[in-house]
């Protein structure tokens, strides 16, 4: 089976940050990246040793056809191109946006708060990519993870185009 596509390093790193050790459920690990040939396909391999149990963790991600460089700092954060994520579903992206916005509210460092809000905006942009053309809400079928379905079940109305756009614009201000 081919490894999943990571559209950017930022998306892969977020996926890794949200993925716990399969042996002990430790959330933290210091991953190191290398591009390797996997059966004729170039992939980015992230490797780490779990700091709690010592399990060796390896995650491979396919590289996109067109590599997107990180945007200049003044332009914010970018997790991917125009297509929706294959690693994280819209519920997880909105949870992450909420988390970053909450951290920004609690931050005493204005620069850190701006970066956190820019990250929240980028995460909401990722949710919006799951909207089919002309649709008013993210389809229920897009929520493929237990975490994403849980977020949606808490307030399905948050996944409408109007609510997502309003929330993103509020964070931009």
Residues 21 and 84 in one domain: no
Is 39 within the bounds of a domain? yes
Residues 163 and 99 in one domain: yes
Residue 51 contacts residue 28 (beta carbons within 8 Å): yes
CATH of the domain at 13: 2.20.25
Q: Which of 94, 82, 95, 91 is nearest to 142 (CA)?
A: 91
Q: Which residues, other chains included, contact 139 with Cβ-Cβ below 8 Å and sequence gap of 6+?
A: 130, 132
Residues 27 and 109 in one domain: no
> How many separate domains does the chain show?
2
Distance in angstroms (rounded) separating the CA atoms of residues 59 and 87? 12
* pLDDT number for residue 117: 95
* End-to-end Cα spacing for the chain: 43
Is 144 within the bounds of a domain? yes
Domain that holds residue 91: 79-172
Residues 46 and 85 in one domain: no
pTM: 0.93
pLDDT in tens, 28-84: 999 999 999 998 888 999 999 999 999 999 999 999 988 888 887 777 789 999 999
Q: Which of 145, 143, 139, 146 is nearest to 160 (CA)?
A: 139
Q: Is the dihedral of CA 68, 73, 79, 81 positive or negative?
A: negative
Residues 48 and 101 in one domain: no
Question: For residue 94, what are the CA distances in angstroms to 59, 107, 164?
Answer: 23, 20, 9
Is 73 within the bounds of a domain? no
Residues 55 and 98 in one domain: no
């Amino acid at each position: 089976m081919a490894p999943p596509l990571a559209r950017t390093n930022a998306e892969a790193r977020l996926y890794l940050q949200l993925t716990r050790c399969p042996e002990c459920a430790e959330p933290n690990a210091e991953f190191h990246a290398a591009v390797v040939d996997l059966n004729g396909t170039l992939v980015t391999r992230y490797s780490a040793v779990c700091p709690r149990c010592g399990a060796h963790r390896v995650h491979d991600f396919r590289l996109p056809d067109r590599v997107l460089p990180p945007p200049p700092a003044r332009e914010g954060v970018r997790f991917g191109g125009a297509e929706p994520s294959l690693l994280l579903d819209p519920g997880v992206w909105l949870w992450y946006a909420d988390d970053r916005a909450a951290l920004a509210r609690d931050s005493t460092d204005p620069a850190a708060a701006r970066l956190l809000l820019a990250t929240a905006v980028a995460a909401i942009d990722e949710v919006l990519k799951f909207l089919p053309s002309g649709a008013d809400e993210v389809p229920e079928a897009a929520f493929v993870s237990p975490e994403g379905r849980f977020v949606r079940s808490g307030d399905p109305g948050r996944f409408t185009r109007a609510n997502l756009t309003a929330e993103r614009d509020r964070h931009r201000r």
